[in-house]
């Protein structure tokens, strides 16, 4: 049975599932502010941001509403910066 890519860790690296941290940075919103807006602990939000845990669909919806973005924005890969 093949392992899904989300379960594979290479050289200790974690596979990033969400981009909540990137969106918070783009919108200049702190993890603490988000935690207060959605009624979760700062620890929970930090785990989501560091991809050490994933939000439930319900919490993902709350995050999207609080940040005024659609859920897809929180899940699509962060575009890589081009270097010359």
- On whether residue 22 sits in a domain, the answer given is yes
From residue 4, give the alpha-carbon distance in Å to each of 10, 11, 12, 18, 53.
Answer: 13, 17, 16, 16, 17
**pLDDT per position as a tens digit, 25-51:** 999 999 999 999 999 999 999 999 998
Domain of 42, CATH number, reads 1.10.260.40
- On whether residue 62 sits in a domain, the answer given is yes
- On whether residue 42 sits in a domain, the answer given is yes
Has this prediction a pTM greater than 0.85?
no
Q: Return phi, psi of residue 10, to 5°.
A: -115, 130
Residue with the two structure tokens 């700062």: 42
**pLDDT per position as a tens digit, 58-80:** 999 999 999 999 999 998 876 66
- On whether residue 84 sits in a domain, the answer given is no
- On whether residue 10 sits in a domain, the answer given is no
- On whether residue 6 sits in a domain, the answer given is no
pLDDT at 3 over 80: no
Q: Which domain holds residue 22?
A: 16-75
How many domains are there within the chain? 1
Q: Return phi, psi of residue 76, to 5°.
A: -70, 150
- On whether residue 80 sits in a domain, the answer given is no
Q: Is 42 exposed, middle or buried (0-12, 13-18, 19+ CB in 10 A)?
A: middle
CA distance 58 to 28: 23
């Amino acid at each position: 049975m093949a392992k899904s890519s989300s379960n594979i860790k290479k050289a200790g690296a974690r596979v990033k599932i969400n981009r909540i941290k990137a969106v918070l940075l783009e919108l200049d919103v702190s993890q603490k502010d988000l935690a207060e807006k959605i009624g979760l602990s700062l620890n929970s939000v930090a785990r989501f941001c560091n991809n050490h845990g994933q939000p439930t669909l319900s919490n993902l919806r709350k995050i999207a509403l609080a940040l005024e973005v659609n859920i897809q924005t929180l899940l699509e890969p962060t575009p890589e910066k081009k270097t010359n």
